[in-house]
Structure 1
Amino acid sequence: MDVSVEPYGQYQGHNLYELTLTNDQGMVVKLLNYGATLEKVLLPEADGLHNMILSLPSREDYAKERNFLGGTVGRVVGRIRGHVWQHGDVKIDLPMNEGKNHIHGGDDGLDRQVYNFRIDQTATTASASFTFVDPAGHNGYPGNVKLQVTYTLENTNTLHYRLDAVSDEETLFNPTNHTYFAIDQPNKIDATTLTIPADDYKPLDADHLPDQGWQPVAGTVFDFRQGQKLGDVIHTRAAQITAERGINHPFLLKHGQTLAAKLQTDKHTMTLATTAPSVVVYTANHFDGTGIPHNIDQFDGVALECQFAPVSGDDLSAITLLPGEPFTLVNSWAFE
């Protein structure tokens, strides 16, 4: 096992570093202290290292434009309808940064912060822990929130992502890691089979927010219980797929079941386990091969965002974090 650190620039007066974790099998994980970001997951093949996720052309590109690739997104990932949190008798207005709604924690969310870090290694693991204190009032959220994000690489070619947080005031908190998996690069995700053991999903309205609550996947294109090739879904004319230009939907995981999803091709498999109650599947619908991510186009990868699912109305109790209450999210990505 090996851990190395390399400086590569600055962002708003803070030093930027790339951290590299390597296991005894030759698997390499590259991380950035910008956004506590998972930059690359490199699996050894006969012809060299194969990147299992979508990455920008260079590490310097991540701070140039907000693309969420591999970042730690929050305080609240996804959208809050109407940008308002009605907290008892108090109404808290969050920034409107997508029409009339609030999305991804505001314009200066957790994925745009520079984290402190420490590294560690044992005989069987290599890890990096990133820490950041998000101050009260930042992006409109109450409470000072202390975060720690830890990536741990094992010799089994499993990468663990653990996010721990605590706030000194009642606040909203529903973060996630926003990695786009592309285990069949350079091909698109059409031939990648996705399996999700979920009986229910949430349809979305014109604001990309749920408007019907949980609905059965049975009899719909969203039934991934036995596995479906993603191309057989994203190229259908189903109304929900057409409206979103792909998949952008929450799936309800069964209580007590940590297995969340599996991606599989002829050459590779990635299995996701999580402590989160749902996973939002997003098939890179908005990318178009332009701008900073000019190397990424629509359907080049799929994000599996482990989180509390977005809600239909204004009841945000599921993502309310009480003062002193510990928050923990653990994802595990096993690569074969």
Structure 2
Amino acid sequence: MNTKAASLAALLALVPFSGAHAAQASQEAAGSLADGQKVVAVTLKAANGVSARILSYGATLQALVVPDRAGKPADVLLGYDDLAGYVDHPNYFGVTVGRYANRIAGGKFTLDGKAYQLPLNEKAASLHGGGKGFDKQVWQVVSVKSGAVASVVLSHVSPDGDAGYPGTVKATVTYSLDEAGNLTIAFEATTDKPTIINMTNHAIFNLAGEGSSQGAMDHVLTIPAKAFTPIDATLIPTGELRPVAGTVFDFTQARRVADGLRDGRDQQIVYGRGYDHNFALDKGVTAQPGLAARLEDPASGRVLEVLTTEPGVQFYAGNFLDGTLVGKQGHLYRMGDGIALEPQKFPDAPNHPSFVSARVDPGKPYRHVMVYRVSTSR
């Protein structure tokens, strides 16, 4: 068995364990970049068989292993077996995105009367930080702890002017796994100048197990949002908040993803090649994480609830997975093989005064807390 397969097999073979702590954390080398920077992997294990593996490269959630209703574990995240995949074939699988998650039109925004230009890595937008964002940095591992909650804290300093953004930003990401298998991700950042920050995790899920032949489009989705932000042909929000009632964007009641995925009568589906839209959560901004989405795979019984303190969630149905990426265990990822649910400020918020502001000022730290809560249905 090769090293990649052995590593994955060991991860999938996790079983409940006994010991002084209910949740355990361990650290190991994960390889090096071409410039010699060392990358480590931290594995967090809960007593119920849930585990998470985090890479310091991109503060990336590489794997999330969850038992099904029969107790059989599977990794439910699309991604790669090793560091080289994330470096050589980046596709945002499980990464921490920033400074600004999602799209900024033309890569332009104005702050206190000064215009800023960000790199364009899409024809009409700066996406997820503009091409060399937080997802392509080696983060420093600050601490790794076992206990009632197992955790890893990672930090990164983005200098003033980095990718065109103002202010020196000191960011941390904390992954915490509790006894019940709830994975909390806390993003925090400070700045020495006014700037914009919008951080999230870009995990792409298939609750049947990554690479499963049936894909993820038979998953059943609920999003507690009465409105979404429609987009133009370049996938940039128009600024409108449009009611979901009577449309294929109504997930206020649980509905199979595939049911609206190919409805070309809705121009929004045509623009996104399926679902690639931000939903305005009914709860808005909250001090404590509230429900953003519930995803269920009826076949395996696995359930994922995504909670967040942020006002929006981007629902992306893997529309741009085109069969050119070979992921874990040699699986070829194609359209519909995974679903991303990314809590966030709204896309292009700096250019829409009616959207919740993404501005962060000195002395007023940025904080976003999100939770992946896993369970099984019967």
Relative to the length of structure 2, the TM-score reads 0.85
Note if 1:119 corresponds to 2:144: yes
Equivalent in the alignment of 2:277? 249
Cα 1:329–1:313 change in 2 (3 A) is closer
Equivalent in the alignment of 1:278? 312
**Greater mean alpha carbon deviation, residues 267-276 or residues 58-67:** 58-67
Deviation at 1:198, TM superposition (A): 0.5
Q: Distance in 1 between matches of 2:321 and 2:242?
A: 28
In structure 2, give the amino acid aligned to 1:259: L
Q: Distance in 1 between matches of 2:48 and 2:303?
A: 16
Equivalent in the alignment of 2:291? 259
Deviation at 1:59, TM superposition (A): 3.6
SS across alignment from 2:217: helix
SS across alignment from 1:22: strand
Deviation at 1:156, TM superposition (A): 0.9
Deviation at 1:259, TM superposition (A): 0.9
Equivalent in the alignment of 1:88? 112
Q: Distance in 1 between matches of 2:359 and 2:336?
A: 33
Q: Distance in 1 between matches of 2:276 and 2:80?
A: 22
Report the identity percentage. Answer: 34
Q: Paired residues, what number?
A: 335
Confirm or deny: 8 A CA contact 1:211 1:312 kept in the other structure. Answer: no
Q: Distance in 1 between matches of 2:112 and 2:306?
A: 37
Cα 1:305–1:278 change in 2 (3 A) is same
Note if 1:33 corresponds to 2:56: yes
Deviations 1:81-119 (A, max 9, x none): 122222233211111221242221111100000011120
Confirm or deny: 8 A CA contact 1:213 1:312 kept in the other structure. Answer: no
Deviation at 1:285, TM superposition (A): 0.7
Cα 1:121–1:311 change in 2 (3 A) is same
Equivalent in the alignment of 1:176? 200
Equivalent in the alignment of 1:288? 322
Q: Distance in 2 between matches of 1:77 and 1:19?
A: 24
Q: Distance in 2 between matches of 1:19 and 1:145?
A: 24
**Greater mean alpha carbon deviation, residues 168-177 or residues 57-66:** 57-66
In structure 1, give the amino acid aligned to 2:367: T
Deviations 1:103-161 (A, max 9, x none): 21111100000011120111x21111111111111101111101110111111121101
Deviations 1:274-322 (A, max 9, x none): 1011101011110112145462111111111111112478246711111
Equivalent in the alignment of 1:203? 230
Equivalent in the alignment of 2:134? 110
Match for residue 302 of structure 2 among 268, 285, 290: 268
Confirm or deny: 8 A CA contact 1:81 1:313 kept in the other structure. Answer: no
Confirm or deny: 8 A CA contact 1:8 1:60 kept in the other structure. Answer: no
Equivalent in the alignment of 1:327? 366
Cα 1:47–1:194 change in 2 (3 A) is closer
Confirm or deny: 8 A CA contact 1:245 1:285 kept in the other structure. Answer: yes
Equivalent in the alignment of 1:71? 95
Match for residue 343 of structure 2 among 303, 306, 312: 306
Cα 1:25–1:312 change in 2 (3 A) is closer
**Greater mean alpha carbon deviation, residues 242-251 or residues 84-93:** 84-93
**Unmatched 5+ residue regions in structure 1?**
none
Deviations 1:243-276 (A, max 9, x none): 2111011111123581111001221111111101
Aligned residue runs from structure 1 range 97-246, under 5 A: 97-117=121-141, 118-122=143-147, 124-185=148-209, 186=212, 187-237=214-264, 238-246=266-274
Deviations 1:183-205 (A, max 9, x none): 12313122100001100001110
In structure 2, give the amino acid aligned to 1:240: Q
Deviations 1:210-260 (A, max 9, x none): 115100000100000011100101122222112211101111112358111
**Unmatched 5+ residue regions in structure 2?**
1-22
**Greater mean alpha carbon deviation, residues 5-14 or residues 305-314:** 305-314
Deviation at 1:26, TM superposition (A): 1.9
Confirm or deny: 8 A CA contact 1:41 1:52 kept in the other structure. Answer: yes
Confirm or deny: 8 A CA contact 1:194 1:227 kept in the other structure. Answer: yes
Confirm or deny: 8 A CA contact 2:39 2:138 kept in the other structure. Answer: yes
